Structure 1
Amino acid sequence: MTARNRVLLLVAAVVVLAAVATASVLHASARADRRNKAQPGGPRITAGTVALTGGGRMVFRNMAWGPHRDELTTVPATDPAGERTASKVKCLRFHAASGTGVCLQAVHGAVQDTYRAVILDAHLKERAHYDVPGIPSRARVSPSGRFAAWTAFVGGDSYAGTNFSTRAAIVDTRTGRLTPSLEAYRIVKDGRTYRAADANFWGVTFAADDRTFYATLATGGSTYLVRGDLRARTVTTLHTNVECPSLSPDGTRVAFKKRVKGLSKDAPWRLYVLDLRTLRETPSAESRSVDDQAVWRDDHTLVYALPGDYGADLYEVAADGTGAARRISTAAVSPAFLP
């Protein structure tokens, strides 16, 4: 082969490689563009005003790909699959009550992300924010709006296993007084003060009296429903095998995740309801594993998230164990119902 032919061959090879590289870049760019646009067949979303006042609304984190991904959006509570109005406020986890919201956000940094809990007013304006020491997983606001709570993973990344650690915090939204970890509270177990290095809390839910709350305590390889007292700064064990409790609006029952023997270690839970007076458990009609802190739509209905095409979809089921579960909204998580 002559020197001239070798040069021509090299030039041709370079041209081919450049064309392949260009095609790859264009293909990746096209995929990114498609991802950032609303997907055909997905929920209809328009920008607008979202407020935590005005009854009969559901506010939640939108999971659909597009310009409003992760934003708080709202729909009529009677039409949860209807057209969505999106704010510009992005949250990983969210809850609201009585015109106060808590939004757990990622703060993107040059080296790594950090997280914070933002207290929102009725117009989604920031009132205060607090550092969160790990990956956010649960959020709750008390019925009066006075207290907010959040849980974060500070070691491990899944409730399904045993090698994880969480931090549950509570803040008084009026005074700004923060309890960074419920581990500062005195634990009363079997009528006695209990101390253990492995005590772990998550999934706070509040009663209407601005004093009582419930949460999960894990210690010694078991989980417990605990009743907390914000004034006495104590938690007292009530019932075993309870995770992510959610108190009913009438304050008489707790919906929770129960680990059921024989299920996969990666999907070990079923959704149950506990009567706080009798401690009688009632399984819901949802037969799939629910890894969520359910929300009470009213005194009779539970709403929760399950994995979906966009990340998560919302389902509802009767709290008394009757009927069947049904999907009410796609590409949605962390709902709050505004009465």
Structure 2
Amino acid sequence: MDEDSWCQMLRKKSAKAPACIEVLRNSQGNDLAIDGDVPFEKVIAAGYNHPREIIAVIRPQNATTCSTSLLDKRYIVKDDDLEMAMEIYHLPGSKDHPRAKLIYKKLKKPSSCNSINGLYIFQLSEETSMFTKSGVYSFIFSVRCRDSTVIKHESRITVRPNSNTRHWQLSCDADWSADNAVVDIRLGMPVRCLAARSHDLYGNGIPFLDVHKAVITILGGDDILAQVKDIKVDLSTDLLTLYIRDFLFKTNKLDRVRPNYEAMLKISLSDSELSHPCKVKPGLPSTINMDMSLAWEKNLTPGEVIDDALLEVLDHCGNHVEEGMELIVNTVGLSFVDKCGPVRKV
């Protein structure tokens, strides 16, 4: 063999040598019945329903491109001794998780499908979505060639929280130990801090974006019992917790929900709202009205007993105070004959 023939043979061999790895798309895999694309280099919501498998091929040096729109069988390296590895790393993107975590690793030999050889088929989970946690998923494909060189291909997918499955947590003073406990509110006493968080179905925190003010409403059934508008809010540095501080409610409608004072607390933001059970109790005694009309209708004589004296006790907003509250009732010129003393319960 002369030198020109030898060089030509080397060029042909070099042209068929592995050059790059390509992941097949749905449009390329019609002959393979690929059931969908993995959305590489895109942003998807947590819980995305991914295809059951990923198919990759090795393209030779003489392939015109590594992203051909059609599956060209001529430009697929067919070498049964070349194994391909696929690794998937998850990076939550949080300061608490600075390192990516390996969540999937498989090593595959080439196989065939529908008379097409040189396919590397990686099976994914069929039961649940792989993309449930927010963050960046890095797919790394690699092949060690016969000359010990390694070719790699990396693609990424960004997963954001799924706001369509949002649920809320609300706490007083940012105490999350009592998960979703009923919020207790008493008129006349400021609510020092309400903290709110929201998560999707998979536990990913959903950030609060472009939130500056809130409207807080207390509902008794369909009735608005109280409302505070344009309350300024603060956000945590990671934007996952919203704080509402130092606000007061005023209402004279609490008799509608007595004696248990159960209501709903609704927080309305610019892009969402949450409702949470609460108890709104009357304030401290402020006004006492005494009704002794039956006794005033006749002249009293020393030693005569007044059977009934009604004291109506109201808070500063005009609500009847909570049942069971104790009052000290002092009398001048009168005395109690029931031996119960001056401490009386409402």
User: Between Structure 1 and Structure 2, whose CA radius of gyration is higher?
Assistant: 2
TM-score, with length taken from structure 1: 0.18
TM-score, with length taken from structure 2: 0.18
Higher share in strand: 1
